Amino acid sequence: MADLTITDIDMAAMERFYRSNLINSLSGFKSVNLVGTIHPQGMTNLAVFSQVFHLGAKPVLMGMIVRPDSVPRHTLANLLETGSFTLNHLRADFYRQAHQTSANYAGSEFEACGFTPWFSEKIAAPYVREASVKIGLVFRERIDLAINGTVLIIGEVVEVRVPADCLLPDGYLDIEKAGTLTSSGLDGYHTTTRLSRLTYAKPDREPREMDCSGEKTGEQQ
């Protein structure tokens, strides 16, 4: 099948939703998390986000892109006021309800979409009890991106709750085993199948596969 070339001129002329579907597909598969926050007066909030990414391991930082003019704006207001938020990986058994949190509800999306808030003693923000992988963060920095009006929120991880049998001896968390999904575009949800983990790349040898215990296996190629 032939390749199709799409230029900036083509993109500028596209209908709004068509362009949004296309552009959201371009970066590749995305992380997809339910972001939990709470209003200072107590109402919980839950919103599905696919613009969350690793920022660094020391300190332990994650980044999240927020559009202040979008429905999940409560997430931004709450995390700025309380100084905390949670990330909760999506699983196949509740991805429809997770997708539904992006609808514009008057009350809490926890109740409206069938999720159970769970609180630790570490932070104010609620976790999603149904999620296998839960991450608690404190707000560290807000960077306004003038180029398109979005906001980069930087959070520091202060607490992690994961299934014990998904944490390998070398620290790799087997999120596939934990049932974590990935997303594509604005509305595609996918399970995964691991090809392999590959050993640290060095110029004088081909990468080798590692087994699920994090040990090196197989012959050097």
Chain positions 113 to 132 lying near a second copy, rule: CB under 8 A, are 120, 122
Q: Which is nearer to a second copy, 42 or 203 (CB)?
A: 203
Task: Tell whether residue 77 is a contact of a second copy (CB under 8 A).
Answer: no
Q: Is 134 helix (H, G, I), strand (E, B) or coil?
A: strand
Q: Which of 70, 142, 143, 216 binds a second copy (CB under 8 A)?
A: 143
**In angstroms, rounded to a whole number, what is the distance separating the alpha carbons of residues 88 and 135?**
6
Task: Tell whether residue 82 is a contact of a second copy (CB under 8 A).
Answer: no
From the CB of residue 89, how many other CB atoms can be counted at a distance below 10 Å? 22
Task: Tell whether residue 216 is a contact of a second copy (CB under 8 A).
Answer: no
Q: Which of 69, 104, 219, 220 binds a second copy (CB under 8 A)?
A: 104
CB 125 within 8 A of CB 79: yes
Minimum distance from CB of 82 to a second copy (Å)? 17
The identity of residue 69, as a single letter, is D
Task: Tell whether residue 66 is a contact of a second copy (CB under 8 A).
Answer: no
Q: Which is nearer to a second copy, 16 or 42 (CB)?
A: 16
Which window, 26-34, 36-44, 78-86, contacts a second copy (CB under 8 A)?
26-34
Contact map string, positions 37 to 56, toward a second copy, x by CB under 8 A: -------------xxxxxxx
Nearest to 88 by CA among 46, 60, 29, 120: 46
Determine the length of the chain.
Answer: 221
DSSP-derived secondary structure letter, 87: E
In this structure, what token pair is assigned to residue 10? 């083509």
